[in-house]
Amino acid sequence: MVAIGWFLGGIAGGVTGIGGAMIAIPIMMISLSTENSILISCLICIFASTQLALNYRHACRWSDIKYLILGAAPGCFLGVLLLRSASMAVLQLVLCIVLFAFVFMQSCRTICRYRLPDSVFTGIATGVICGAVNASVAMVGAPLGIYALLKHWSPDRSRGNINVFLMFPNYGSVFFQALSGFYTVPILKLAAAGVISCYVGTKIGVYLGHKIDQEMFRKLILLILILIAVILLIRACRSF
């Protein structure tokens, strides 16, 4: 399930530049606990984000993400506290909310006209939120995607900024999680399998991104995510 989830997640991330963990985590949860799925994904995201950052680094503008980076570290610390204290039902509910937010953001991107003004506060606050979401549920794509949407960046600029910034909350999340003693040998072994499949999937996704209709692929991904979010919502409600 780890290999399958991250192969498909790698393809999605390679084509769209975002959302790989949103595909992979629910698939892994078929056979793993919510917490272990999140921890494994955080480890794999280190390699996935580095790979994508190298592909899209030339489109990154450091002036766009410098304040996001400042907020990422404290956000990761807060996210690890949430991961340590929250129940599995709460984590599943948070996963569900993040998925619905991501789908809503993607669905409304063509009609959203508001532009978020440049601000130190909004940049740092968004960085904190991204770090917290990444360290707790490994789905930073939703808040980061909403921020990019409201900034009205071009597609290339968005992919560059998003994928370079993602390295910071990904590395920060694993650092604080490791300090808290979350990682065990079985988790590391499973993550290794996911890294290999994610690498292959990402390579395929980057190639397909230049060959297929991205709008059609995006709509298919959104339909899958809606189904996954509904399933997670049902599981969370039954757990309470």
Q: Kindly report, residue by residue over 213-224, the tens digit of the pLDDT.
A: 767 766 766 777
Q: What is the mean pLDDT of residues 19-47?
A: 88
Other beta carbons within 10 Å of 121: 9
Model confidence over 48-107: pLDDT tens digits?
888 888 887 888 999 999 999 999 999 999 999 988 887 777 877 887 887 787 777 777
CA distance 68 to 61: 12
Indicate the Cα dihedral angle 16, 218, 40, 91, nearest 10°.
130
Prediction pTM value: 0.81
- Give the amino acid at 206: V
Residue 1 has pLDDT above 90, yes or no: yes
Other beta carbons within 10 Å of 238: 9
Within its chain, how far is the Cα of 227 from the centroid?
A: 18
The structure tokens 């984590």 sit at: 91
Contact between 188 and 2 (Cβ < 8 Å): no
pLDDT score for 30: 86
Q: Which two tokens stand for residue 9?
A: 């997640």
Burial of residue 111 (number of CB atoms within 10 Å: 0-12, 13-18, 19+): exposed
Residue 239 has pLDDT above 90, yes or no: no
pLDDT score for 110: 58
**Higher per-residue pLDDT: 225 or 128:** 128
Q: Which two tokens stand for residue 215?
A: 């709008």
Q: What is the mean pLDDT of residues 184-196?
A: 93
pLDDT score for 143: 82
pLDDT score for 123: 94
Predicted confidence band at 8 (pLDDT cuts at 50, 70, 90)? very high
